[in-house]
Structure 1
Amino acid sequence: MGMLLAFTVVPVKAATFVAWEVSGVPFGDTLNVRKFPSGNSQKQSAYPNGTVLQMTGKCTGGVNLFDISGQADWKQKQAVRYRWCQIWHDPAQIGNFVTGWVYGRYIEPH
């Protein structure tokens, strides 16, 4: 008896990123990037103020950066202030890109 397998191609926004930057981190400190959206999760990397991040668009609480991108900057910042947002980065700077999470209080639209 043969088995029929059906595959559906679904377009993915994986190659599309929203640029936000690190902002509001206290002087001399950096924004930690975590493996999971939690302050207790493994630290992957850290970036200083002004670093432009490649955001996947996904934030906790169902916030999508693509959906809010047309709003005023202050409204976008307000929407992510208490959420974790996912980035696409290369922590070791060797071409090995992975996803990580940053706390929304320390990022703003670029």
Structure 2
Amino acid sequence: MNFIRTGIIAMIATVAVIVAPLPSANAAAFYAWSIIDVPPGDTLNVRAWPSNQSQILVAYPNTTVLSMTGKCTGGVSLDHIAGWPAWKQRQAVRYQWCETWVDPYSTGEYRTAWIYGKYIEPA
């Protein structure tokens, strides 16, 4: 009986050690948002930092779907607002910069970049 109890405790401890280092589900979450409201024939600049003065890394037209990291300026988290109606999510990011993943040189080397919230909506 003591042997079985020791074996069960050892098994539980092993599982705890294996599972503990795994990241939370939110740590790897990505959010699909689309570019909207860019004038016809124009593109939206995606920038290195959250500023109109920042380097332009790439530009995309309307309907482009972006993979957002979930982080926006002003303390807005896409994870926090994900359950809200789409119009309310848009309002939450309207005057913020939000972080996205881009591959500016099409080399498979993705990096983070920033896009102004006025021009995106949940996809």
TM score, norm. by length of structure 1:
0.88
Match of 1:95 in 2: 108
Q: Pick the aligned partner of 1:44 from 57, 61, 67.
A: 57
Percent identity over the alignment is: 58
Match of 2:84 in 1: 71
Match of 1:5 in 2: none
Name the CA distance, whole Å, in 2 between partners of 1:15 and 1:72: 23
Q: Which runs of 5+ in 1 are unaligned?
A: 1-7
- Displacement of 1:10 after TM fit? 7.5
Cα distance, 1:27–1:87 mapped onto 2, change above 3 Å:
same
Q: Which runs of 5+ in 2 are unaligned?
A: 1-19
Cα distance, 1:70–1:96 mapped onto 2, change above 3 Å:
same
Match of 2:23 in 1: 11
TM score, norm. by length of structure 2:
0.79
Which digits, 9 at most, give the CA deviation of each residue in 1:6-63, with x for residues without a partner? xx95726453200000001111111100000000000000010000000000000000
Which digits, 9 at most, give the CA deviation of each residue in 1:64-95, with x for residues without a partner? 00110100000000000000000011111110
Q: Pick the aligned partner of 2:48 from 35, 40, 51.
A: 35
- Contact preservation (8 Å) 1:14, 1:56: no
Cα-Cα RMSD: 1.5
Larger fraction in helix: 2
2:105 counterpart of 1:105? no
Q: Which amino acid is 1:11 matched to?
A: P
Greater CA radius of gyration, 1 or 2?
2
